[in-house]
Amino acid sequence: MSSLTDFTMHELHELLVRREVSAVEVTKAYLDRIDGVDPKVGAYLTLTPDQALDQAEKADRCLARKVEDATPLTGIPVGIKDVICTRGVRTTCGSRMLENFVPPYNATVIERLEAHGAVMLGKLNMDEFAMGSSTENSAFHPTHNPWDLERIPGGSSGGSAASVAARTCACSLGSDTGGSIRQPASHCGVVGMKPTYGRVSRYGLVAFASSLDQIGSLTRDVTDCALLLNVISGYDPRDSTSIPRDVPDYTLSLIPGLKGCTIGIPREYFISGLDPEVERSVRDAISALESQGARVEEVSLPHTDYAVAAYYIIAPAEASSNLSRYDGVKYGLRVRGFKDLTDMYKKARSQGFGPEVKRRIMIGTYSLSAGYYDAYYKKASQVRTLIMQDFRNAFEKCDVIAAPVAPTTAFRLGEKTGDPLQMYLSDIFTIPVNLAGIPGISVPCGLSRDGLPIGLQLMAGHFGEERLLTAAYNLELVLGPWKNWPTV
């Protein structure tokens, strides 16, 4: 018999409602798996076993009382990226600055998970303040890719992707500012969804770049993605960027056949420097979508070349503003041995922030400074508008755009830490989606000769999650969901 940690979320739900297993048994199986595997992977920063077992017992009481009251998440063990506030459980953002910060409230997405009976196993590792593409910028330890422990899992939601691939949680939440869900999902062979900006509440998400950040899901298959999206989506008056729009039942999008669907192939995404194995897998996946009835048409996103440059002005500028609150006074790291207030600020911020966060704060502060605002930030915002228009024009010709997630498979730990520009370029295919505010999903579409996962990225217009899920589901029908998970 398969281990309980081998089942998808929806398979576990069936076992639970038929009372073939209990939520406590499932939770204990995951906690045992974490004990055995996570010392090698390093996906978790904080474990909450007592809380998890209490939530599992509550789920079992719900199932015993009236099974019809159970939701698809009742008794399901989840992991949470450590940038999302959890009441009474420390939330570090992968930083020394918040090493001992314990929020007094839950993020909206946590409230919604709890209302649906989910079981929280713990908080997951990440690049500090979500700034990075490899989870090597965590102040505590790097996370390793379960498919090859010498390689990165991607970032900044590396712990969220690695935990799902290593089967140390049934699903997880991450955040995506420039590809931080989709890129690690691709590298770890899981499904990662970045919803439309404003679809999921950001209340309780510690801010990196407020106009780009979006909470999303990492799951084992597309069905689980739809189920989790049903729970976390929806309007929240506590988030001024949340959009008051009804949430459909995303599972109704999981239908076979793509007749009438046009898939756009952006010529700017198939460039020199794209790993041949990645390109082959992506093109094979596009052929698989064609076999389900889709029509393929080339489209152009002409301002793609400027996306990385625009992003690395806008995101650091917003980070400079958002992270100014960490001054050692109200909360966060308080150093000792300072001479005066200015000295305290300097020491708190120099000791509390890591090198990558400092680099981005300085870039952002410079680009917002007097005399440079128009030359940098204003110009980048104008480029952002052009990128949004590119997508609008493309979606007049197609329903969904298909492209690679990343130019390569997962690279080796330490390979790019000395070259920030090369690290930034690993997000070249994901950044435009955040700048435009549209939804994107990464779906596993193959393995390299080295046995490393490759993902297909699908993009749609604003609130086009249903189209993405239909296309992703059909790809999964042809290729089959992953079954040969890494053994670690």
Hey, what are 453's tokens? Answer: 């996962």
Identify whether 416 is a catalytic site residue: no
Pairwise CA distance, residues 4 & 16, whole Å:
11
Pairwise CA distance, residues 437 & 235, whole Å:
16
Reply yes or no on whether the pLDDT at 2 is more than 80. Answer: no
Pairwise CA distance, residues 296 & 283, whole Å:
11
Mean pLDDT in residue range 308-327: 96
pLDDT for 334 equals 87
Q: Is 276 exposed, middle or buried (0-12, 13-18, 19+ CB in 10 A)?
A: exposed
* Marked catalytic residue, from 95, 133, 156, 157: 156
DSSP state of 375: I
pLDDT for 1 equals 45
Q: Look at phi and psi of residue 391 and say left if phi exceeds 0, alpha if psi is from -120 to 50, else beta.
A: alpha
pTM, two decimal places: 0.97
DSSP state of 142: -
pLDDT for 134 equals 98
Pairwise CA distance, residues 284 & 302, whole Å:
24
pLDDT for 293 equals 98
Identify whether 378 is a catalytic site residue: no
Residues making up the chain, counted from first to last? 488
pLDDT for 141 equals 98
Pairwise CA distance, residues 200 & 242, whole Å:
7
Q: How many percent of the chain have pLDDT more than 70?
A: 100
Mean pLDDT in residue range 300-319: 97
CB atoms within 10 A of CB 480: 10
Reply yes or no on whether the pLDDT at 355 is more than 60. Answer: yes
Q: How many percent of the chain have pLDDT more than 90?
A: 91
CB 254 within 8 A of CB 220: no
Hey, what are 276's tokens? Answer: 């041949």
Q: How far, rounded to the nearest angstrom, does the alpha carbon of residue 159 sit from its chain's CA centroid?
A: 10
Q: What is the pLDDT of residues 59-106, one digit of tens each?
A: 999 999 988 889 999 999 999 999 999 999 999 999 999 999 999 999
Domains and CATH numbers, the chain: 4-253+410-454 (3.90.1300.10), 305-381 (no CATH)
Mean pLDDT in residue range 332-353: 92
Who contacts 30 (Cβ-Cβ below 8 Å, separation ≥6)?
4, 5, 77, 121, 168, 169, 170
Q: Is 418 exposed, middle or buried (0-12, 13-18, 19+ CB in 10 A)?
A: exposed
Between vectors from CA 201 to CA 180 and to CA 154, what angle results, nearest 5°? Answer: 10
pLDDT for 424 equals 87
Query: What Å distances lie between residue 286 and 397, 456, 478, CA to CA?
Result: 17, 9, 11
Of residues 41, 279, 270, the one with CA closest to residue 143 = 41
Please state which of the ranges 338-347, 436-445, 458-467 shows the lowest mean pLDDT.
338-347
The CA-to-CA distance between both ends of the chain, in Å, stands at: 19
Mean pLDDT in residue range 356-384: 95
Reply yes or no on whether the pLDDT at 331 is more than 90. Answer: no
CB 215 within 8 A of CB 84: yes
Cis peptide bond prior to 156, omega within 30° of 0:
yes
Identify whether 160 is a catalytic site residue: no
Pairwise CA distance, residues 284 & 448, whole Å:
13
The phi and psi torsions of 428 (rounded to 5 degrees) equal -60, -30
Hey, what are 119's tokens? Answer: 């079981």
Mean pLDDT in residue range 443-453: 96
Mean pLDDT in residue range 402-414: 97
Please state which of the ranges 139-148, 222-231, 334-343, 470-479 shows the lowest mean pLDDT.
334-343
